[in-house]
Structure 1
């Protein structure tokens, strides 16, 4: 029995498609929904200890968006924040990127 080459090609195309969709989904989740961070210093002790890993739920105060391609070209970019679901209040833990 011979295998049909078009079936193999269709299978490869299907695998590549789903791998691409997985990467796109991962990117969307990282930008708009979740991000993980490692605590670099002891400034938040005793609540958070140096080396702790935290998972940030971005929709709470709103994810930041910017022009990634301009940033990669070392051009100055505007950073915008999409409105979140609630306001920041006392004792909320915030993550600053610097």
Structure 2
């Protein structure tokens, strides 16, 4: 097993409550995790049992580089040899939910 990190960026900035409302509709079993005021951190259970989770951070892009606007979606997950890339799939699903 290895930890995989997937980064995605969105051109539009999102605030925590707006992003959380959109994610709650798409992923009703999400788990809110403690985080700072600027970062929204959630865990999304995946698989049939939900024992494996992908942790997703949603943060403003300006936190990394001053003057930039937008949103950074960073997903962390454990993957093995036969995992079918759940971390990348979850990051893509979060981006599509926030983009719509």
Query: Do these two structures clear the TM 0.5 threshold for a shared fold by scoring above it?
Result: no
TM-score bracket, normalised by the shorter chain, equals under 0.3
Higher relative contact order (CA 8 A, sep 6+): 2
More strand by share: 2
Rg larger in structure: 1
More helix by share: 1
**Normalised TM-score (structure 2):** 0.25
